[in-house]
Each structure stands twice: as C-alpha cells, then as structure tokens.
Amino acid sequence: MHLIGSPSSITRVLDDINSISLITLVIDETSNVTREKHTAIYWKRLFKQISVCHAIEDIEINQQTQQSWGHEHYSLSISWFLPILKLNKMKRLVINGSALSGSDDDFRLLACAFPKLKELGVSPGYYSQGRTLACLLYFSQECPDLQEIRISLASSVLLNLDAVKKLPPHTIPVNHQHPLKKLYIHSQFGQIQPAQMVQVAQFLDLIFPNLAILETYSKVRPQLKSQTGQEFNKPVRLFRLLLGSMDSDKRHLRRNTASVESNN
C-alpha cells in the first residue's frame, strides 16, 4: 500500500480500511502547505494504527515537508515507534527526508524488536548526537539477516569511541557469519586521528567481518562526493583501506591455517 498526504489525512485513510493483512506500507508525507499543527500527535496515532498490521514486513516513510531543522515535526522519534515494536516480521525499515531521534539504547530496542530485519535506513540529521557506533553492535547481535545499514551517528569521534569502550568486552564477539555487506554512515567524526581511525575500523571488523562497502551518505543517497562537491571525506576512505588490509590479513591467516591442517 502506498499512501500520500499529510499525517492527519493518512490516519483518516487508515481508519477506513482493513490493514491487518498489510505486508508493505509506503508513506509519503507531502509538503505541509497548510502548516498543519500538532503533527507529532498524528504520527503517534499513525504508528498505533500500523501496530495492528501483524503481517507487515516493509515500512518506508518519505517526509517531503520543506521545513528547517529544529521544527518538532521534522524529527520522528523512536519513542513513537513503541507500538510497532511488536511487529516481529519486519524485514525493511527505511526513513527518508526526516531525522530519526533516538539514543543507542533506543536503537537496541529497535534491533531486538526486528530480528528478521534485512535493511535499515535512517536519514542523516542533527538529532543523532545521542547515537554512536556502539548501537551497531546490537544489530550485529540481534539481526542475523541484516545486509544493509544507512545510519546517522554523533559527529564527535571521542563520543563514539567512548561509547564503544564502555561496552562489556564479552558482548563484542567476532561474528564471522554475519552477512552485512553495506554500511553507510552519516558522520564526519570531527578531527579524527590515525589511531582513532584504527580503533573504529577494528570495531567494525569485529561486528561485521564480511563488510564489503563502507561509504558516507547525504540526505539524498550514498555518495562519493560531499554536497559541496569536495572529494569523499578522508576518514571513511581510510576506514575502507584499513578494513581491506584486515580482510587481506584474515585471508592470509585462513590459508596458513588450512595449510597446517592439511599437512597434519
């Protein structure tokens, strides 16, 4: 089902239809030309309506409202998602055009609620300061079929690394079987140092050892150039090189191990 309109009009449509057997839902919030008030109330109501769709597997929300950052309705909140966290058949959740506020703990709830998730897409925005690299661990642990993540993280590399260091060591096992191949991160990580780049790359390699694509992305889509036309940011280029080097080392180790075993 594909619904287009303001949150209030979409809730009225959902009131009038039987959506229990709905599998796919795409919502396009059109430009708010009427300056509709109390938009947050309608979004909360909308998620309660979606919570009865027990068969749903795919939710995509495209917000097209032309408002500057800081307006309440321009940021969806993980807390509004609570009613749909019981929909454990979810395979795809994509939010376009709007920031999605929520901390690492909030995203842990999301990961635990959707164990069948294959794709997660979260628009970049200024509401991600409480969200760090640490939240990616939860998706590694709880979503064994996840293949692609697009996520916005806090811009401070120290905040990200501190959050990773606070994770209990036993919770970061090497998940050799995790299939995640694509990771798109929206964060400049501030003035990152070489040693910090190594730490980030090592963490990513531990939780997603089969990672093949690591890119940054803008509000529109993953890209190799910034919105100002400058070359792809240096930190992510170096992360890719580090991960590539680690992958080469692992292949070399596996070859040596296989050789020793065959000789024995």
Q: How far apart are CA 79 and CA 76, in angstroms?
A: 9
The reported pLDDT for the residue numbered 158 is 87
pLDDT for res 91: 97
Calculate the dihedral angle through the C-alpha atoms of 140, 142, 143, 148, rounding to the nearest 10 degrees: -40
CA 22, CA 13: separation in Å to the nearest integer?
14
Cβ(83)–Cβ(48) below 8 Å? yes
List, in sequence order, every beta strand (DSSP E) within the chain: 2-5, 24-29, 58-63, 75-77, 92-101, 119-123, 148-152, 182-186, 213-216
What does the angle CA 176 – CA 150 – CA 129 come to, to the nearest 5 degrees?
105
Q: What DSSP string runs through 176-234? A: TT----EEEEE---SS--HHHHHHHHHHHHHH-TT--EEEEB-SSSB-SB-TTS-BS-H
Residue entry with tokens 């140092």: 193
**Mean pLDDT per segment of 10 residues, for the chain of length 264 residues?**
88 85 90 59 90 93 61 66 92 85 90 96 68 93 94 86 88 80 79 80 87 71 37 48 56 43 47
pLDDT at 205: 86
Beta strand 119-123 pairing with 2-5: unpaired
List the chain domain ranges.
2-263
Handedness of CA 205, 207, 213, 217 (dihedral sign): negative
- To the question of domain 2-263 being in CATH 3.80.10.10, the answer is yes
Q: What is the DSSP letter of 67?
A: -
CA atoms of 152 and 129, how far apart (whole Å): 9
Say what the pLDDT of residue 235 is. Answer: 46
